[in-house]
Amino acid sequence: MPKRQDIIRWCNEFLRTAEFHDYAPNGLQVEGREEVRKIVCAVTASQAAIDYAVVQNADMLLVHHGLFWKSEPITITGWKHRRIATLIRHNINMAGYHLPLDAHPELGNNAQLAVRMGWHIEGQAGEQNLLMFGTPEAEADGNALLANLAERLGRQPVSAGDLSRPVRKLAWCTGGAQGFFQQAIDMGADAFVTGEISEAQYHLAQENGVLFVSAGHHATERYGIQALSARLQQEWPLECLFFDEDNPA
């Protein structure tokens, strides 16, 4: 029977967590039972995901967005208390992997989005290799890129910039990575895909002619955690389930 510490140790080593400077802890965040037979994976350690893990009698909740963030108050009150209390009451482990899961060249959110979209990966760049670049499945314009994203992610993207521009070079970073847009422009990308858009990106897109696409923070980050849990099933006799939420953000 796999042990909690063995699974966490394997994830930490495989994702090379020690190499990242993150604003959230990576690895075990809430300790539960020692033996792990069933894992529920989810994008975020929300109350809904925790409740699902309880119903499924899971031994571990494995997520991309954990419970503790540098910018948040450290007090365990309100919603944070309710989430943690539920985990402890039911003796469920909760582990989270943030930037290491974004950047991993095989199982990461960026790499898995490319698999989902049929994009060809040429390399990684930017801070902690969080920006990925390559070419689309087939040369097309921005309208076709948006249509493909909407079809495969099940969410209509928001865009800014020239939709008629041919997309030959593509850059992307899942989640809230709109700050990488200028670097994507400097790299010569025809389009940049991420999860969120802020006010400033509209002007950069309009003035530089590079297409900016916001395809949803949650929608673009559903696949790394599933790939990680699938790899865990290759290592140990585990049952892994994915909990999804209809999160429009």
- Binding site members for a divalent metal cation: 64-65, 102, 217, 221
Phi, psi of 194, rounded to the nearest 5 degrees: -145, -165
The annotation places the binding site at 64-65, 102, 217, 221
Report how far residue 50's alpha carbon sits from residue 80's, in angstroms, rounded to the nearest whole number. Answer: 12
Phi, psi of 61, rounded to the nearest 5 degrees: -110, 120
Strand partners, 159: 213
SS (H, E, C) 54-123: HHCCCCEEEEEECCCCCCCCCCCCHHHHHHHHHHHHCCCEEEECCHHHHHCCCCCHHHHHHHHHCCEEEE
Helix (H, G, I), strand (E, B) or coil at 151: helix
Contact 7, 59 (CB under 8 A): no
